[in-house]
Amino acid sequence: MNAIVLEREVCAQNYAPLPIMLSHGEGVWLTDIAGVRRLDMMSGYSAVSLGHGHPRILKVLNEQAKRLAVTSRAFHTEPLGPFLAKLCAVAGQEMALPMNTGAEAVETAIKAARRWGHKVKGIADGQAEIIVAENNFHGRTTTIVGFSTDESYRDGFGPFAPGFVSVPFGDTAAVEAAITPNTAAILIEPIQGEAGIVLPPDGHLRALRALCDRNNVLLILDEIQSGLGRTGHWFAHQHEGVRPDGLIVGKALGGGVYPVSAFLASRAVMQLFGPGSHGSTFGGNALAAAIGHEALCVLEDEKLIERSAELGAYMKQRLSAMTAGLASEVRGRGLWVGVEIAPGAGDAKKIVARLADAGVLTKETHERTIRFAPPLTITQDELDWGLERCESVFAEQAR
């Protein structure tokens, strides 16, 4: 039986992948079972920011797995403290709560915000509200899809948890109008990834910081995709020089080999968690902690954040030039760029398929936007290789 046919037979169809069966990856390259090699310009939605099979990550993975891999946090393990200390240092936060997936870290942030609202701000239990942005994507648990504005994420999964107020993304006035005495937190992505790499207006994060300070509200930023070097800074919010009260990280933290995530905040917020108030069997296990620590060190030692800033500006400029007349907008920061195909200029999904045929793997979102997010380890020559093939496909599409 064909491998793709077998997968479709036994796997729930909650994704619609391109009809390519991948076999192995190395660095920025992915090879299918027929031996065809393609450039990865998607990075597993930023989870593979360090490339496929980074030697330092694999070394730590193997060494730690031989010593001690997965235990619950019923016991202390040696790697956890150094990992979280390093993570707090680069994030400018005091404490962290380790989890596995991004969605789990978002759920952790929601619980932290609600408990802080009740215990510290004095909101009646069960009445805390969290302001979120339209077109958000924070994960797919029932709580999270409940405050999504994409009906396809919600269809058939209700009833949903109350306590979320949605406002237009980037609209400071709408956020201010939505704040009430029951508002515990504002939870947003500093750049919306799944929505198509959408940036808010300049100064919006600074304005939100000021609003939160005036109204005793927590500012919580979801940097699962945008963080850890993707935009040319450690975190996207640093482009505006703000400091959030809570920070959600994941994806790249696992070095492309293991699910690692965390919620970070001040000691005042984190000390509200006590034994039994939250947990995860795998969250913060020894293997995850060792990998997460090494991933942070690789980003730092190999100057991948600086590379993202430099090559990202170059990639955006090249994509803007080659899609003139085809794209209505090219937007992004660092090695994270969205090309929005103009109405009537073509179908983004079909263009993505043609890019794959030309040797470049990427993905469309919301029908109109093609996302480019190569591993931060990509070289100038590798990026040029991919961009040359993109240029040929876009030129053919424009004819």
The catalytic residue positions are: 137, 222, 251
Say if residue 213 is exposed, middle or buried (CB neighbours under 10 Å; 0-12, 13-18, 19+): exposed
Cα–Cα distance measured from residue 261 to residue 273, given in angstroms and rounded to the nearest whole number = 17
Helix (H, G, I), strand (E, B) or coil at 294: helix
DSSP string, 115-184: HHIIIII-PPTT--EEEEETT-----SHHHHHT-S-HHHHTT-------EEEE-TT-HHHHHHH--TTEE
3-state secondary structure 308-348: HHHHHHHHHHHHHHHCCCCEEEEEECCCCEEEEECCCCCCH
Cα–Cα distance measured from residue 65 to residue 288, given in angstroms and rounded to the nearest whole number = 10
Q: Which residues contact 241 (CB under 8 A, 6 or more apart)?
A: 206
Number of alpha carbons in the 13 Å side-chain half-sphere of residue 210: 9
What's the alpha-carbon Rg for the chain, to the nearest Å? 21
Cα–Cα distance measured from residue 317 to residue 314, given in angstroms and rounded to the nearest whole number = 5
Enter the tokens of residue 357: 């045929």
Q: At 267, which helix (H) or strand (E)?
A: helix 267-270
Contact 133, 169 (CB under 8 A): yes
CA distances, 256 to each of 282, 294, 302 (Å): 17, 12, 16
Residue type, 48: V
